[in-house]
Chains A and B, each alone.
Chain A
Amino acid sequence: MTNEPFFPFLRSILPFLGKGALMTVELTIISVGIGVIIGIFGGMARVSRNPILLVPSTIYVEVIRGTPLLAQLFLVYFGLPSLGINLPPFTAAVIAMGINSGAYVTEIFRGGIQSIEKGQMEAARPLGLSYLQAMRYIILPQAFKRILPPLGNEFIAMLKDSSLASTIAIAELMRVGREITSRTFRSFEVLTVVALLYLAITLPLSLLVRYAERRMSVSD
């Protein structure tokens, strides 16, 4: 197997790498999904004047952004068991990555909300809309349109960072690649293919974001 020509070799490893890539995508979608849910509320908390919302959300963002994702991942997977909380690898990974992503998405939403002219909120309130209704129907839809590009970037960044989950025994793309390498010793070829597979996912994604941007700008 080690001196097999490249293309037959590629054909033999591709199904495994494909499965790994699928896991990578799954991990990323769920994590960023959690991140977006956290981010919507986090973003609103970050623009709030109420310290009960503002202070915890600010601490959350600073702590998460200021510490490595790998440390967060290990804390959830290896650290929590000593408190009696044992999580399966996949659950631990999406919790750590979701919370991590949430901090970045919070800042994305904060920026998006603040970029909407003050007049939009001012026009909404005299109509009898509550602050939350105005957020939901007026501010967030417009903010969402503007944050689509950074949100796309966050997704791409998280997709690449999900390779860290290989360290806690999740059979995602990077992990599968390293397993094949250790079996075949064809590091250069395998890791190049792994890198290209990441690219094959992120590239269409950037195009999709660009397309969505254009679609959503009808009202501009």
Chain B
Amino acid sequence: MIRLEKIYKRFGKLEVLRGVDLNIEKGEVVVIIGPSGAGKSTLLRCINLLERPTSGRVIFEGIDITRMDGRNIDKVRERIGMVFQHINLFNHLNVMDNVILAPMKVKGLSRNTAEQIARSLLERMGLGDKLYAYPSQLSGGQRQRVAIARALAMQPDIMLFDEPTSALDPEMIKEVLDVMKALVNDGMTMVIVTHEMGFAKEVASRIIFMDDGYIVEEGTPKEIFSNPKEERTAMFLSKILY
């Protein structure tokens, strides 16, 4: 579905990605782990060209989107949902308006249709009683669930999660992970950057371990967690697993 080929990304002198190849099939749940500064988030952001690779190709359903013009990239982005560590709900809009904005303005849905989609999504996220609350009136966990609903309202083919629980209070992590787990069970294609190893182990069809701008190792959760081949993977895991 999405193939990254030899992705390099430089910020000035800093080389964040040094030739990453990655293939994501439909229905896969790919979890990217690794120390901070490894380039995980940058890689994720290259998938929807939020970050332009310095070189390399991003191929979405057979088409190289790095060569597309702005308007066509917008078309592709509609189909790739994204959820951020810092959530980034639109602060001036209530929950409902956050979710229906893009379906109305980008897809041209009527307010009615968009609201129907939004309401059923938000109810599934356990936010049925918060439809008209403003972001500032919600907890971090609730905000992140709204952000997931906002992305899902565009009915994307794939969802990208950039450390979706890293900025949350501990007691709110589970409610967000539960929502994500439900998505996995629905068969959504997902790429997740996270430090939640228990969650990674449980939902991942494939784990990618990144360090220093490279993919060091990839495999099933079992292979990576119980039997890492690379020393760097083993060292990282020994530091973070109790």
A residues adjacent to B (C-beta < 8 A): 117, 119-120, 122-131, 133, 137-138, 141-142, 145, 218-220
Cβ–Cβ contact A141 & B92, under 8 A: yes
- Whether B77 and A120, one on each chain, are in contact in the complex, defined by CB atoms closer than 8 angstroms, is no
Of the candidates A119, A130, A141, which one forms a contact with B74 in the assembled complex, judged by CB atoms under 8 Å apart? A130
A-B contact pairs, 20 of them (CB 8 A): A117-B88, A123-B82, A123-B147, A124-B90, A125-B74, A126-B50, A126-B160, A127-B78, A127-B154, A128-B102, A128-B154, A129-B102, A129-B106, A130-B71, A138-B92, A142-B91, A142-B92, A219-B94, A219-B135, A219-B136
Cross-interface CB contact of B88 among A119, A133, A145, A220, cutoff 8 Å: A119
The 10 closest A-B pairs by CB, nearest first: A128-B78, A123-B88, A127-B102, A119-B88, A126-B82, A128-B106, A219-B134, A142-B92, A128-B77, A128-B74
- For B199-234 the 0/1 string (1 means CB < 8 A from A) is 000000000000000000000000000000000000
Q: Bound complex: CA of A123 vs CA of B144, how far in Å?
A: 12
Cβ of A122 to closest chain B Cβ, rounded Å = 6
A127 close to B151 (CB less than 8 A): yes
Chain A nearest Cβ from B41, distance in angstroms: 12
Known contacts A129-B106, A219-B134, A219-B136: A122-B84 contact under CB 8 Å: yes
Residue-by-residue, is B96-124 near A (CB-CB < 8 Å gives 1, otherwise 0)? 00000110011100000000000000000
Q: Could you tell me if B136 and A220 are in contact, using CB atoms closer than 8 angstroms?
A: yes
Is A128 a contact partner of B93 (Cβ separation < 8 A)? no
Q: How far is the CA of A60 from the CA of B3 in the complex (A)?
A: 46
Residue of A nearest to B101 (CB): A137
Collect the chain B residues with CB atoms within 8 Å of residue A117's CB.
88
Whether, in the assembled complex, B192 has its beta carbon less than 8 Å from a beta carbon of chain A, the answer is no
User: In the assembled complex, how far is the CB of residue B134 from the closest CB belonging to chain A, in whole angstroms?
Assistant: 4
In contact, A123 and B80 (Cβ under 8 angstroms): no
Return the contact of A123 from the options B70, B90, B105, B134 (Cβ within 8 A): B90
Q: Is B81 an interface residue (CB 8 A)?
A: yes
Contact A119 B84 (CB under 8 A): yes
**Contact: A120 with B90, CB < 8 Å?**
yes
Tell me which residues across on chain A come within 8 A of B194, comparing CB atoms: none
Interface membership of B48, Cβ < 8 A:
yes
Q: Which residues of A contact B87 (CB under 8 A)?
A: 119
* A218 and B93 alpha carbons, distance in the complex (Å): 10
Instruction: Given A138-B90, A219-B91, A219-B94, answer yes or no on A126-B48 (Cβ-Cβ < 8 Å).
Output: yes
User: In the bound complex, do residue A120 and residue B91 qualify as a contact, i.e. CB atoms below 8 Å apart?
Assistant: yes
A130–chain B nearest beta-carbon distance, Å = 5
Nearest CB of B to A219, in Å? 4
Q: Tell me the bound Cα distance from A165 to B135 in angstroms.
A: 47
Alpha-carbon separation in the docked complex, A141 to B91 (Å): 10
Complex CA–CA separation, A133 to B136 (angstroms): 23
How many angstroms from the CA of A39 to the CA of B70 in the assembled complex? 25
Residues 60-94 of chain B: 1 if any A CB is under 8 Å from the residue's CB, otherwise 0?
00000000001100110110111010111111111
Q: A145-B92, A219-B91 are in contact. Are A119 and B77 (CB under 8 A)?
A: no
A133 in contact with B91 (CB, 8 Å): no
Chain A residues near B48 (CB-CB < 8 A): 126
Contacts A123-B89, A128-B77, A219-B93 aside, 8 further interface pairs with beta carbons under 8 A come to A125-B50, A126-B81, A127-B102, A127-B150, A137-B101, A138-B101, A219-B136, A220-B91
Chain A residues whose C-beta falls within 8 Å of the C-beta of B89 in the assembled complex: 123
Q: How far apart sit A123 and B82, CA to CA, in the bound complex (Å)? A: 8
Using CB atoms, name the residue of chain B closest to A136.
B105
* CB < 8 Å neighbour of B86 from A119, A133, A218, A220: A119
A125 to B134 Cα, complex, angstroms:
21
- Bound complex: CA of A80 vs CA of B86, how far in Å? 54
Q: Which residue of B lies closest to A145 (CB)?
A: B92
Contacts of A142 in B (CB 8 A): 90-92
